[in-house]
Structure 1
Amino acid sequence: MGNQSYHESIEKNRQEISVDKNSALSRAGQRQAQKPKTKKTKNLLMPALFFIFILIPVSLLIYVAFVFEPDDSLTAKPAENEVSFEMNAQPSQSSVAAADEEKEKAEKAKVEEAKAEKAKAEKAQADAEKEKVEKAEAEAKAQAEVKAKAAAEVAAKEKADVEAKAVAEAQAKKEAEANAQAEAQAKKETQAEADKKEEIPSANGKTYVVQSSETLYRIAVNNYGAAGAAAAVEKIKQANGLSSNSISPGQTLVLP
């Protein structure tokens, strides 16, 4: 449809140009008839040049600008070996609005992209800060656990030392009590044996407890008389197994 209109317009323009040319030639012929023959060649050259260089381009320009109105574009393709050309019409309001809308969309997309990049950067920074805080908390927790473990070990060692000391003291006390009890028992047995010796009279005589400041001779005099005191001393020594005349207060002697 567009190619047919284009050919029709070209043909119409060509006819108009032919009419204008014939009119121009007719006027030129009249002028040449009126002018002298010496100026005939000059009068023919000027209209031809005017027609070729001015009138034809101006006619085409006027036609294209005011008469020819294609829908969107005009494309001429007579055949495969012919040259094709396309003339774009002036942009319409819808095209301008569409361009503005595309521009607005592009700017909006750019703003959204900037916001997304900013949010991504803020999230990355927040994640880094969170990781840093968590790492610090983990390190603090680990240090606290190490300190608590060391304190527990020290407390356990101190407790063990206290318990060991208590056990040692209890053992020492027990041993001391046992030793004291053994000594007391031995002393008791010795005393009982001594008391028993005092209570049981000798087969050949009686027992006597040495008093303070007494001697064997005095005991012999008191018990056997002064006449036989010397012989009595020897008998007392022999009966008690004494090797000398030395005796002590509280000592029990057997008097034969």
Structure 2
Amino acid sequence: MSWTVIALAGSIMLAAAVVQGAVGYGLNLISGPLLALLDPVFVPVPILFVACVLAAALSLRERRAIDWRGVGWAMVGRLPGNLLGLLALVLLPVTGFNLVIGLTVLACVVLSVVTWRPRVTPPGLVVAGTASGVFGTVSAIGGPPMALLYQNQAGPTVRATLNAFFLLAAVSSVATLAFAGQVRGEHLVAAAALVPFIVVGFLISGPARRLVAGPRLRVAVLAIAAASAVLLIIRSVV
């Protein structure tokens, strides 16, 4: 791996970390497809390791705002969601399933703009956690279901709760991959090379939070969800 590749990958991760630190999610959406094109070694193991570091830092920064009850209920759905996602990968055409995911997320965004005001309830959290597990396993974009559910909450609650959930989800994914023998030395080296860029992105995201304060945070949450949906739809039909 050349220094040029590391610099490009690090720049992508830095930008993605700023977005996630300011809005609450977006790291995988921004970095995943680009890093896969740059060098497949970055996906998925190194990104998951780096996601753990960033999610831990973001959770600690606004730890008093974490909705631990919500995280717990969401994780109840996340684990079976992972299994359902694996089942979907085995039984269903990935392209068609990604199209369904993209259209579902886009429909939720449209409903949010028009009439839908989701409430953070245990049943809703379990459903969002399950959807996150399925979507994340199949398409590597598991953030929108949880983000859409929390879209009307205060900024610190959105960022801290989503990242506490992402931390647990990423750790479980890394543990699963390690158990399956999919974590190699080159993955650890790639992850270590990206960590300094993540740290810089985390630091920049602190003041960047002011840019999406108040109602603008909800707009940013919906915009990122819509972008992820459109990306999946394009990848499915092209």
Scaled by the length of structure 1, the TM-score of the pair is 0.20
Greater per-residue helix proportion? 2
Structure with the greater relative contact order (CA < 8 A, sep ≥ 6): 1 or 2? 2
Greater per-residue strand proportion? 1
Q: Which has the larger radius of gyration?
A: 1
